[in-house]
Structure 1
Amino acid sequence: MQSETPPCTKVPTVDMGGLGAHHAEEPCQQEWERVTRELEQAFSDIGCAYLTGHGVPDHLINEMLSTSVAFFKQQEEAKIRWAEDANVHGYIKMNSERYAGAGPELHESFLFKPDSYSSCNKEAPLFFTPLVSLHELHRTLSRRLMTCLALSQGKNRNHFVNMHLESGTKNSCSIYRLNYYPLTSDGREDATGFGAHTDFTTISFIYSNNSKGFQVRDSAGQWIDVPYVPGTILLLAGDFLHFHSNKKFTPVMHRVVLPSEVQPGRPPRCTLIWFEHADSHQPMWPPSEDPNQPAPQGVKDYIMEKVKTAFESSSRDITDYNSSSRRHSRCSSMQSEAPPCSKVPTVDVGDLGAHHAEEPCQQEWERVTRELEQAFSNIGCAYLTGHGVPDHLINEVLSAGVAFFKQQEEDKIRWDEDTSVHGYIRMNSERYAGAGPELHESFLIKPDSYSSCDEEAPPFMTPVASLHEFYRTLCQRVMICLGLILGKNRDYFINMHQENDIKNNLSVYRLNYYPLTSDARKDVIGFGAHADYTTITFLFSNDSKGLQMLDSAGQWMDVPYVPGTILLLAGEFLHFHSYKRFKAPMHRVVVPSEHQPGKPHRCSLVRFEQPDLHQPMWPASEDPTIPAPLSVKDYYMPIANKAIGKESWE
């Protein structure tokens, strides 16, 4: 069953140091590296961070917010003359926006661009003067943060900067927004000031006064308060950055909850937000290398589509570009869907295949590493070709497996699973989805299972032992690639798997067999939906249907048998130790209700590659207030016991 991520329940702080906007000179290399590292950690864990040492003077922020509060406290007739117009600036009345869809949201706002009043006959509002000064410093800060984000992705320094060349102009969706939250008069608790959403942005900057109400959803799915911290800016990752980091960085879900009573010594909440958007023509996510995949939407088109969905009841002309652009900052909110990845990619292992005894060249390491990174970031799995495991061994294991499972029950139960983690698992004895028995039989195998056993080994054990020799080479090379992707040393993951294939490690082979049912029902569950707890999983299959995977759009898609390939899946241990950069895909087996002519009953050999039992299931936090991570054994045991109904593995 898919697990919860280890919770990040505290917003981290990143000191900009030499990268602050008040430093005109080029920061030193050590400062670039430090800030990049801290920002990468924060955006991977929770998607936001407090910035200190940012170089934007407090007096400008305070002046901006105090003049804004004064503006919003005016009578309604004094404000509506600034009602939002087609130049992407202006006043938005109370109760006129709905993000969560559950009712009016209790805020007033003002949208504006830095050049909003350069050709306007109206006199600029009072808060505009400090905004112009603040914006110059903000541009420097934003560019330096963009540089850090590019470096964290292994891109050139200007990778993200070059996607934001029109920021602040009429041809960009980037915009400032003032939000004001007056107290309610009905004394309700937890009134919604701004509904739950993520931003469509690359990054968002929030400048706040000394007030409560802002909340983010942590990685455990709980809402946590994000208090005002004097002298800081709150930086949030948005959807564009999420997509262009291959979903490594989290677009944080956030909202504003209004207090029902006056907070002594605190003003009504007021914030200034800068939504930093990529230029309108930029692709909202990187194009696929697969020519069969559609080209990504542009930033403008993506926002337009979301606006139509979120505000389809609006009477305004949504087809007008300026109108839609101004509306996006209200809709910059609604949580976005990931661009769907609905096809399993193929990675040619090439010289890293198990049949190549010599050390692969550097170019091959780099190519396979790059392709694995793309596949695991997008969908969490890949077909491997050129893997070097002989087809005849795979076929021999699977055909011997089918012959074993077709025996009478009394011939199989003498191999009932024992405490050494090997043996037969009967039909209907496991429940992974929790909705009823799952129609499969299985056999667990460790390569040394029968080395000291008096009984003759089952017929598939000999080819499994031969296959395992090839597998070990292939697995080690894949592990090296995964370490290199994360910027670790070559042995980073290998060192976490030192006790493989012995009793103190859960790595195991599993034969699964799915006979046809007799009740002719459709979509009978052969194996319930789950993500693997492994580092990686290798799946060898015969020519049969049934395996399905949940794609990034939340739809079940068929994963067909492809001759000569191994299906490689990322597991939850890898998901956590890549800081959620890699997906642990949800998958299941659906048993066909009728025989498929020319195809055997489904049988698969699965290798679960598990870390050593004492390894932490996720990296330890540097925050001493965060509990130590569970060990692999302590994480796995309660979940396995629930699915299998056993009291203990030992």
Structure 2
Amino acid sequence: MCYCERTSMTSHPPPPLEATTMTTPGVPPYVPAPPTNVNLDYADLPTIDLSKAKTVEGRKQLAKEVVDAMTNQGFFYIINHGYTSEQTKRMFDIANVPFEHVSESEKQEYLAAIKTNGSYQGYKPREYFHIDNGVRDQVELYSINRDVTKRKHPRIIRPLLPEIEAFAKHNHFNILHPVLRLLAMGLELPEETFVKTHNFEAIGESYVRLLKYYPRTAEDEEKSKNVWLKGHTDIGTVTLLYSQPVSALQVLTSDGHWKWVKHIDNAIVVNAGDGMESLSGGYYRATIHRVVQPPRDQQEYTRVGLIYFALVDDNVKLEPLSESPVLQRVGIKRRFDEDKTPTMEEWRKARTAAYGQAVLEKVGRIEEERLGNGVVRHYS
């Protein structure tokens, strides 16, 4: 059932690397924090100029850079992704709307069925996740399926759905698909290998996530050791995180140290998740990252986030692509037993339902939970 006025949901992508233009309704501006002046230990992450992906030679060069990033740092930046700074700012204004301009009573009508359906579509309220020592989270999420008509939305969001849909399509066709082609090339597979399993109109849960972190009490910061979201990997294949100025994201480096991810204006931070690690036979590792209390000059600000989470189609089994010449040379690391490999749907539902709710078993600095045939690890 369609709940809203909508644009055409065809399988055709928008114009390459150009954002859709349209008449837009007014939205109260979100004023972000100024960048921090604190000297932080930043991770040294590569920057990929996506405009170079237009040519064969450009893709060959970028594929080498992406392989290096995904097998070493785990994160990289994308620039020249097709949205101007003004268009990105507009999307951050929209990202703030579900939290500041929807009443608490109306939010209750649109809660996500996280535990019952294993789906984040809708609101995740604050204090849903347990962090540590009785401390619960202070992040509010609103997740919208790439098909924005999948479910009903709060009244004030409905006029914004054409823009959100255009944003989802732009991320899917103009950013995700080029990245997937580079990842396929890195495995010496046909360029369209991953693209074929990331269909915009297939059954699945690739989605736009809007989020907002709120400051916590000094007592909660002490009890949780300043950790806002424990170290974890993402569920899907590729995550596209639009950089914003509040420093809080950290990546666990290969030598076991947490390093900060630096804000770059109008850049996208990219990482791989469980799905990509599984499909690539461990060649592209799911990136371990966490969210912590911002530095002292940003601790009074809220932190609005804008993300596109990509997952393969629900019916795809998370089996390594063993036909890859690269995997045949370096070997395959399986995440699941060969005869018990879940589909993307089975894995996302299990992880979504359990996250922040399950009792974890401590193994040194790592906490583990078993989900069917897989193990999920959380990092302090």
Q: Same fold (TM over 0.5)?
A: yes
Is 1:84 the equivalent of 2:117? no
**CA deviation digits over 1:400-430, x for unaligned, max 9?**
xxxxxxxxxxxxxxxxxxxxxxxxxxxxxxx
1:248 is aligned to 2:286: no
On the 8 A contact 1:107/1:194 being kept in 2, the answer is no
CA shift for structure 1 position 49: 0.2
Q: 1:72 aligned to 99, 104, 125, which one? A: 99
CA distance in 1 between partners of 2:283 and 2:267 (Å): 25
- Residue 262 of structure 1: how far off its partner (Å): 5.4
Match of 1:46 in 2: 73
Counterpart position of 2:47? 13
The answer to whether the 8 Å contact 1:205/1:273 transfers is: yes
Q: Distance in 1 between matches of 2:259 and 2:80?
A: 25
Question: Could you tell me how far 1:336 is from its partner in structure 2?
Answer: 8.8
Q: Aligned residue for 1:131?
A: 164
**Partner of residue 174 from structure 1, selected from 157, 182, 206:** 206
Which position in structure 2 is the counterpart of 1:184? 216
| Equivalent residue runs for 1:420-431 within 5 Å | none
Q: Quick one: which amino acid aligns to residue 312 of structure 2? A: A
- Local SS of the residue matching 2:130: coil
Match of 2:241 in 1: 206
Tell me what 1:93 maps to: 125
Label 1:114 to 1:294 Cα distance change in 2 as closer, same or farther (>3 A).
closer
Output the CA distance in 1 between the equivalents of 2:232 and 2:295.
22
Match of residue 346 from structure 1: none
Q: TM-score, normalised by structure 1?
A: 0.42
Bigger Cα Rg: 1
8 Å CA contact retained: 2:146, 2:206: no
User: Which of 145, 149, 162 is the equivalent residue of 1:117?
Assistant: 149
CA contact (8 A) 1:11 1:46 kept: yes
Whole-angstrom CA distance in 2 between matches of 1:336 and 1:141: 33
Q: C-alpha separation between the residues in 2 aligned to 1:279 and 1:179?
A: 24
Give the AA of the match of 1:52: I
CA contact (8 A) 1:88 1:116 kept: no
| Contact kept? 1:201, 1:241, Cα under 8 Å | yes
Task: Determine which structure has greater relative contact order: mean sequence separation of CA pairs < 8 Å that are 6+ residues apart, divided by chain length.
Answer: 2
Are 2:344 and 1:299 equivalent residues in the alignment?
A: yes
Q: Which runs of no fewer than 5 residues in structure 2 stay unpaired?
A: 1-41, 324-336, 360-367
For residue 53 of structure 1, report the CA deviation from its aligned partner: 1.4
In the alignment, the residues of structure 2 paired with residue 96 and residue 29 of structure 1 have an alpha-carbon distance, to the nearest angstrom, of 46
Quote the residue 1:233 is aligned against. 268
- Give TM-score, length-normalised by structure 2: 0.70
Q: Which amino acid aligns with 1:83?
A: L
Could you say if the C-alpha distance between residues 223 and 81 of structure 1 is closer, same or farther in structure 2, counting changes exceeding 3 Å?
same
What is the alpha-carbon distance in structure 2 between the residues aligned to residue 71 and residue 121 of structure 1? 10
Query: Shift in Å at residue 80 of structure 1?
Result: 3.2
User: Which residue does 1:374 correspond to in 2?
Assistant: none
Task: Please show how residues 334-413 of structure 1 align to structure 2 within 5 Å.
Answer: none
Q: Offset at 1:100?
A: 6.8
Give the number of equivalent residue pairs.
Answer: 306
Contact 1:60 1:134 in 2 (8 A): no
Cα distance between partner residues in 1 of 2:280 and 2:256: 22
Q: CA RMSD in A?
A: 3.6
Which residue of the other structure, out of 306, 314, 317, is the alignment partner of 1:272? 306
Q: Percent identity?
A: 19
Distance 1:9 1:262 in 2: 20
- Structure 1 segment 425-440 matched on structure 2, within 5 A: none
- Per-residue CA distance 1:338-374 (angstroms, 9 max, x = gap): 989xxxxxxxxxxxxxxxxxxxxxxxxxxxxxxxxxx
Indicate the residue corresponding to 1:584 in structure 2.
none
Query: Which structure 1 segments of 5+ residues have no match?
Result: 1-7, 20-26, 315-333, 341-551, 554-650
Kept after mapping to 1: 8 A contact 2:43/2:251: no
